[in-house]
Amino acid sequence: MKILICFGTRPEAIKMAPICLALSQKNIPYKLCVTAQHREMLDQVLEFFGLVPDYDLNIMQPNQNLNVLSARILADMDAIFKTECFDLVLVHGDTTTSAMVALAAFHRQIKVAHVEAGLRTYNKLSPFPEELNRQFTGRIADFHFAPTEKAKDNLLKEHVDKSKVLVTGNTVVDALFITLEKIKNGFSNNAIENLKERIGFSKRIILVTGHRRESFGVGFENLCKALLEISKRQDVDIIYPVHLNPNVQDVVYNKLSNIANIHLIKPLDYPSFVWLMSKSTLIISDSGGVQEEAPSLRIPVLVTRETTERNEGINAGCSILVGTNPSKINAAVNEFLKKEKFQCEINPYGNGDAANKIVDFLQTYIK
Selecting among 108, 139, 213, 263, the annotated active-site residue is 213
Q: Is 213 a catalytic residue?
A: yes
Give yes or no for a contact between 230 and 196, defined as CB atoms under 8 angstroms apart. Answer: no
Q: Which of 219, 222, 215 is nearest to 126 (CA)?
A: 215
> Over the Cα atoms of the chain, what is R_g?
20
Which of 12, 76, 130, 286 is catalytic? The answer is 130
Pairing of strands 111-115, 143-146: parallel
Going by the DSSP 8-state scheme, the letter that residue 267 receives in this structure is P
> What region does 202 belong to: left with phi over 0, alpha with psi -120 to 50, or beta?
alpha
> How far, CA to CA in Å, does 185 sit from each of 18, 48, 178, 269?
19, 15, 11, 18
**Residue 55 pairs with which residues in a beta bridge?**
33
The question of whether 193 is a catalytic residue gets the answer no
Query: What type of residue is 180?
Result: L
**Is 130 a known active-site residue?**
yes
- Is residue 211 flagged as an active site residue? yes
How far apart are the C-alpha atoms of 149 and 172, rounded to whole Å? Answer: 17
Picking from 343, 318, 363, the residue whose alpha carbon sits closest to that of residue 173 is 318
- Between CA 191 and CA 219, with CA 41 as vertex, the angle to 5 degrees is 95
Annotated active-site residue in 10, 38, 76, 116:
116
CB–CB of 334/157 below 8 Å? no
187: which strand partners? none
State how far the Cα of 253 lies from the Cα of 21, in Å rounded to an integer. 38
Catalytic residue among 243, 263, 353, 360: 243
Yes or no: say if 83 and 6 are a contact pair by the CB < 8 Å rule: no
Among the options 10, 134, 211, 212, which is catalytic? Answer: 211
Q: What value, to the nearest 5°, has the Cα angle with vertex 292 and ends 296 and 267?
A: 100
| 143, 364 Cβ separation under 8 angstroms | no
Residue type, 107: H
Q: For this structure, is 335 an active site residue?
A: no
* Catalytic residue list contains 149: no
Residue from 90, 115, 122, 126 nearest 105 by CA:
90
User: Cα-flanking dihedrals φ and ψ of residue 186, to 5°?
Assistant: 110, 0
Residues annotated as catalytic (active site), given as ranges: 94, 116, 130, 211, 213, 243
